[in-house]
Amino acid sequence: MAATPSLFTDPFFTQVILPFLLVFVVIFAILRRTKILGENKSADIIVSAIFAFIFIGVPAAVGVTLNIIPVVAVMIVILLCFLLLFGFIGFKVPEVNTGLKIAIGIILGIALIATIIWATGVKLPPLTPEAVNYIIIFSLIIGAGAAIISSKEGKGSNK
């Protein structure tokens, strides 16, 4: 017996309607929040619709978006779990250590960059030992610079 087709499995729905709505809503929310076009809601709707129509007209962009969405959803669920754990312990988000916020942000940023690289199909060449050494040295320089800057800011705030 053949499976009955569903609206949610129809390619028109998953590859046209949902990406259109996603881009439309995100662009509209950004335009309303930033008020780039002023208070005119009609202009925001028109610009959002134009961006969404252009977006669904580029199959590569839709494909990348369809690959990224599940991973981003999982990352959001993981972040929500962390926040729930902190809530159960009794921490409030503003009370959480700034260093912890930065660390979580860096980890999520690296995960997002890796997801984008994976979703776009970019093939990175294998790392040579020389490249690994350069990455380690660069990371150490950035870390040392951040430590120096943060220690100077800490001393300056005591005045």
Question: 25: Cβ–Cβ under 8 A, 6 or more apart, which residues?
Answer: 48
The full 3-state SS of 50-98, as one line of letters, equals: HHHHHHHCCHHHHHHHHHHHHHHHHHHHHHHHHHHHHHHHCCCHHHCCH
Task: Please tell me the predicted confidence (pLDDT) of residue 143.
Answer: 87
At 14, phi and psi to the nearest 5?
-80, -25
pLDDT score recorded for residue 159? 47
End-to-end Cα, the chain, rounded Å: 78
State the Cα–Cα distance between residues 102 and 105, nearest whole angstrom.
Answer: 5
pLDDT of residue 93: 63
Would you write out the chain's pLDDT as a tens digit for each of its 159 residues? 556 777 778 888 888 999 999 999 999 999 999 999 889 899 999 999 999 999 999 998 898 888 888 888 888 888 888 778 877 887 666 666 777 778 878 888 888 888 888 888 888 788 898 988 999 999 999 988 888 888 776 565 554
